[in-house]
């Protein structure tokens, strides 16, 4: 079934090529297509394009379809072009001509746009929740190991004392800035394109503010041409928001892969969370974090992928927009999986608490010893030279302790302030506002 088909049958070769993998990803849009249709038909009844009885019949069946989708019993039948066609086909089979009325005042262009925005909005919520869980884990580990020292590096050379509290806390705070990027994408996604039609509006007296409220959008895309131009832009914004989180996870995964190695030995994991070698009995490989690193690096390339798909397109809808789903939808799942796996692994991380006692790390404390001399009244450049000479002569024997007190340092991590910042950015999404609207729409 094709909503646009008339007398001439399309070549099977052309159809197979143009449909591509649409159906594979359209099934993920199914619940949102129903939600958009519920709001649209509620609005159609308010402007007398549906009777109240027709609307009630349509809503009854749409809610039945929605339940089938949630239970896994819904599928797109063979020969049906897309999710929009499948929902309309089911309504027509169950209600006859009444089912054919739901498309008045909309195009598949604004229909898929609203589906995508509802889908992306839900996925942003799930990514935010996953990020928040990982943040809490990192803060907990930061507090737990705040007094355990580890080497800090510059140029991959042993530099100054750090701590596991600083290390875990750094990645926790990084996630806050990442969520600010995702929130910017959320502001773009959380606008209603429904009613823009094919991108040029409609001669029907549509009430677009009504559907905006019914679907819980913060506002609408007013200009109907721009609403259509939002296809691709919303997805690219989403990808950019995801890329920030992915960059943090990738960097952390790289640290873990290094720190698990025998040359470092900073951390370890139970055997059941690592993999082995087919030839080397001693190996404990960090496969989880290597895959995390690779997946997150791929996600960081996603905004560029989407930009290149849409970069030279003039205003209007173009079919290559469908290709965005093929790269974006799997990447969203990858990111959610990486967030989950990172938290899952960190539940069992084992910290080497005696690490800093190794003799090879004594030079970490050269700055500490220099600063002690400065605090006793020695000019900094003279103190620097004294410690440098002691190192060259082999006489350097530091006290392996630090006393840092300023904000964000080893002795004053600032984790409460960091937690307050995270709470603020998570609360700024205000997911509850649209969750309540969707609940009322389905009631």
Domain boundaries, the chain: 12-101, 108-203+228-353, 365-406
Q: Mind listing the pLDDT tens digit for each residue in 83-128?
A: 888 999 999 999 999 999 999 999 989 999 999 999 999 999 999 9
pLDDT of residue 116: 96
What does the pLDDT read at residue 117?
Answer: 97
Tokens of 81: 């072009």
Q: In the predicted model, is pLDDT for residue 2 greater than 70?
A: no
- The band of 21, judged by pLDDT with boundaries at 50, 70 and 90, is confident
State residue 5's pLDDT score.
55
Between 3-12, 120-129, 189-198, the lowest mean confidence (pLDDT) is in 3-12
pLDDT band at 166 (very low <50, low <70, confident <90, very high): very high
Q: How many CA atoms lie within 13 A of 64 on its CB side?
A: 11
- Does residue 184 carry a pLDDT above 60? yes
Does the pLDDT value for residue 7 go beyond 80?
no
- Alpha carbon 215 to its chain centroid, in Å, reads 22
pLDDT at residue 224 tops 60:
yes
What phi and psi values does residue 204 have, to the nearest 5 degrees? -75, 150
Lowest mean pLDDT among 14-18, 42-46, 165-169, 305-309: 14-18
The whole-number pLDDT of residue 415 equals: 96
pLDDT digits (tens, 9 = 90+) for 240-294: 999 999 999 999 999 999 999 988 999 999 988 887 666 776 778 889 999 999 9
Other Cβ atoms within 10 Å of 162 Cβ, number: 18
* Token digits of residue 245: 């989180």
Report the share of the chain in percent with pLDDT over 70: 96
- Residues 291-305 have pLDDT tens digits of 999 999 999 999 999
Phi, psi of 37 (to 5 degrees): -70, -35
Mean pLDDT of 362-372: 88
**pLDDT for res 339:** 98
**Backbone φ and ψ of 285, nearest 5°:** -90, 140
Q: How far apart, in Å, do the first and last CA atoms of the chain sit?
A: 30
CATH of 108-203+228-353, one of 2.70.98.10, 1.10.3720.10, 2.60.120.650, 1.20.200.10: 1.20.200.10
Q: Does domain 12-101 have CATH number 2.60.40.1930?
A: no
Which bin fits 106, alpha (ψ -120 to 50), beta or left (φ > 0)? beta
**How many angstroms separate the CA atoms of 372 and 383, rounded?**
9
Q: What confidence category does residue 4 fall into, taking pLDDT thresholds of 50, 70 and 90?
A: very low
CA dihedral over 363, 367, 368, 374, signed as positive or negative = positive
Which of 26-30, 194-198, 206-210, 319-323 is modeled with the greatest confidence?
A: 206-210
- pLDDT value at residue 413: 94
């Amino acid at each position: 079934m094709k909503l646009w088909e008339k007398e001439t049958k399309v070549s099977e070769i052309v159809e197979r090529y143009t449909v591509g993998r649409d159906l594979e990803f359209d099934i993920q849009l199914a619940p949102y297509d129903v939600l958009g249709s519920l709001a649209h038909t509620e609005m159609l009844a308010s402007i007398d394009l549906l009777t109240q009885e027709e609307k009630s019949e349509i809503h009854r069946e749409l809610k039945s379809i929605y339940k089938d989708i949630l239970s896994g019993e819904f599928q797109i039948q063979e020969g049906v072009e897309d999710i929009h066609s499948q929902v309309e086909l089911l309504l027509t089979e169950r209600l006859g001509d009444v089912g054919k009325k739901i498309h008045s005042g909309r195009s598949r262009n604004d229909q898929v746009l609203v589906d995508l925005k509802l889908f992306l909005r839900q996925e942003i919520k799930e990514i935010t929740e996953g990020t928040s869980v990982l943040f809490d884990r990192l803060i907990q580990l930061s507090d737990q190991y705040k007094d355990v020292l580890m080497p800090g590096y510059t140029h991959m050379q042993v530099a100054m004392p750090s701590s596991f509290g600083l290390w875990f806390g750094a990645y926790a705070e990084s996630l806050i800035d990442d969520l600010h990027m995702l929130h910017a994408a959320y502001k773009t996604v959380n606008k209603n394109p429904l009613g823009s039609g094919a991108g040029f509006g409609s001669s029907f007296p549509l009430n677009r503010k009504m559907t905006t409220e019914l679907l819980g959008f913060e506002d609408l895309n007013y200009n109907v041409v721009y609403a259509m131009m939002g296809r691709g832009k919303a997805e690219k914004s989403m990808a950019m928001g995801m890329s920030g989180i992915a960059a943090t996870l990738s960097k952390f995964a790289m640290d873990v892969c290094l720190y698990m190695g025998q040359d470092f030995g900073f951390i370890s994991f139970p055997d059941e969370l690592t993999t082995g070698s087919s030839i080397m009995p001693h190996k404990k490989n960090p496969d989880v974090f290597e895959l995390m690193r690779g997946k997150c690096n791929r996600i960081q390339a996603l905004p560029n992928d989407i930009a290149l798909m849409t970069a030279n397109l003039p205003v209007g809808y173009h079919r290559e927009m469908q290709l965005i789903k093929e790269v974006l939808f799997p990447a969203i799942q990858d990111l959610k999986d990486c967030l989950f796996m990172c938290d899952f692994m960190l539940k069992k991380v084992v910290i080497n608490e005696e690490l800093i006692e190794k003799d090879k790390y004594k030079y970490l404390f050269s700055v500490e010893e220099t600063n002690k001399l400065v605090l006793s009244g020695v000019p900094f450049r003279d103190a620097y030279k004294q410690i440098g000479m002691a190192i060259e002569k082999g006489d350097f024997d530091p006290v392996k302790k630090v006393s840092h007190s300023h904000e964000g340092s080893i002795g004053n991590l600032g984790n409460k302030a960091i937690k307050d910042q995270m709470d603020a950015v998570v609360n700024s999404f205000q997911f509850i506002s649209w969750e309540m609207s969707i609940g009322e729409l389905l009631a």
